[in-house]
Amino acid sequence: MIITCPSCSSRYPVNAASFAPAGRKVRCAKCGHSWHQEPEAASAPQPLAGAMAPGGRKKMFGEKAKAEPESPAPEAAPTAEAEDVAFADPAPESEVEAAPVSRMSVAADIGNRFRREVRRAASMRRGRFLIAAGWAVLALFVAGTLGSGYAWRHEIAAWWPATAKVYAAAGEEINLRGLEFRNVAYERQTEEGLPVLAITGEVLNITDKRMALPRLRVGLRDQNQVELYHWTFALEEAALPPNEAAAFITRLSSPPPESRDIEIRFADTTDIASADRHVSRDAPAASAGE
């Protein structure tokens, strides 16, 4: 059953069984107008009783109807009123409120689509935020790792000596000893008619603590960088305070004439033993002093 609001012409589908034969009060959900709605059967036009005679002849004033044989009347179809009687226990009277069929469905569809778009946009924003946050965290981690690795490079190289090569490849030499050479130079001299090679320089303590001074090793090489001879010598100072330097000078009589290059570094146990063997074979004498 479809009812129409007399105020705004909005149409509503309702259950006809919920209407009593006398009708009921309803209210429009759109404009709020209330009215008394008759059931659907009550709105059908009813024939005027007694307007026509059973035989089809109209009664006149004072005229008696002629007795005519009447054919048995056909069984009457159930009227709307009779159908209404079948619903003797209708639902309690209350206001019927619904939304217009077409407008309600369109509004619901628009609302659903709007909510879907809002959820999709929110999900995309969350995804972009999480991706950006992940990249930011990764960048901070990499920057922090590189910064810490550079700031603590000496401590890292001292704890893990293999990393010194990594720092050297990156252009940052790491001095694991805490000592370095400065102002190294050489000079060819003559003493008592013999050639003498004099090498001078300084050893600097670059740490913030007192460092023991090892022996120094000097090597002479030819033009093909093949070592011809080497020797070791000790400095007068056994240790250096922080940021202090110790000067040195060493001389070698009758150096090999083919020597073209000099290498000077801190000696280890192998270098000291090898130097002792060279001296025992009557190699040219080397002396050190200030």
The tens-digit pLDDT sequence of the chain (290 residues) is 788 888 888 888 888 777 777 888 888 988 888 888 888 764 445 554 444 444 444 444 444 444 444 444 444 333 333 333 333 333 344 444 444 445 667 777 787 888 888 888 888 888 888 888 889 999 988 888 888 877 777 778 777 777 777 877 877 777 777 888 999 999 998 888 899 999 999 999 988 889 999 999 999 999 999 999 999 999 988 999 999 999 999 999 999 989 889 999 998 766 555 555 544 444 444 444 43
Specify the number of domains making up the chain.
3
- For residue 147, tell me if it sits in a domain: yes
Does any domain span residue 190? Answer: yes
pLDDT attached to residue 71? 47
Task: Select from 130, 157, 176 the last residue of a domain.
Answer: 176
Same domain, 192 and 92: no
Q: Which residue blocks in 35-100 are alpha helix, DSSP H?
A: 80-85
Classify strands 211-212 and 245-253 as parallel, antiparallel or unpaired: unpaired
Query: Domain range spanning residue 232?
Result: 179-289
Tell me, yes or no, whether 25 lies in a domain.
yes
Domain ends where: 122, 156, 176?
Answer: 176
Domain check: are 21 and 34 in the same one? Answer: yes
In this structure, are 232 and 153 located in the same domain? Answer: no
Residues 172, 184, single domain; the answer is no
CB 14 within 8 A of CB 98: yes
Are 126 and 198 members of one domain? no
Say whether both 171 and 183 belong to one domain: no
Has residue 58 been placed in a domain? no
Task: Indicate whether 189 and 256 sit together in one domain.
Answer: yes
Residues 1 and 95 in one domain: yes
- Do 217 and 127 share a domain, yes or no? no
Regarding whether 194 and 261 lie in a shared domain, the answer is: yes
Q: What's the CATH code of the domain at 31?
A: 2.20.28
Domain with 224 in it: what CATH number?
A: 2.60.40
Distance CA 88, CA 212 (A): 117
- Look at residue 62 and tell me if it is in a domain: no
β-sheet bridge partners, residue 245: 204
Domain presence at residue 70: no
Q: Is residue 278 part of a domain?
A: yes
Pair 207, 259 in one domain:
yes
> Domain boundary residue among 176, 196, 218?
176
Domain identity same for 125 and 188: no
On the CB side of 196, CA atoms within 13 Å amount to 15
How would you label 146-180 residue by residue, b for 16+ Cβ within 10 Å and e otherwise?
eeeeeeebbebbbeeeeebeebeeeeeebeebbbe
Q: Which long-range contacts (CB under 8 A, 24 or more apart) does 27-33 make?
A: 27/95, 27/96, 27/97, 28/97, 29/97, 29/98, 29/99, 29/100, 30/5, 30/99, 30/100, 31/5, 31/7, 33/5, 33/6, 33/7, 33/8
Give the chain's count of helices (H) and strands (E).
5, 13
Quick check: is 163 in a domain? yes
Question: pLDDT per residue over 133-177, tens digit each?
Answer: 889 999 988 888 888 877 777 778 777 777 777 877 877 777 777
CA angle 158, 160, 161 (to 5 degrees): 70
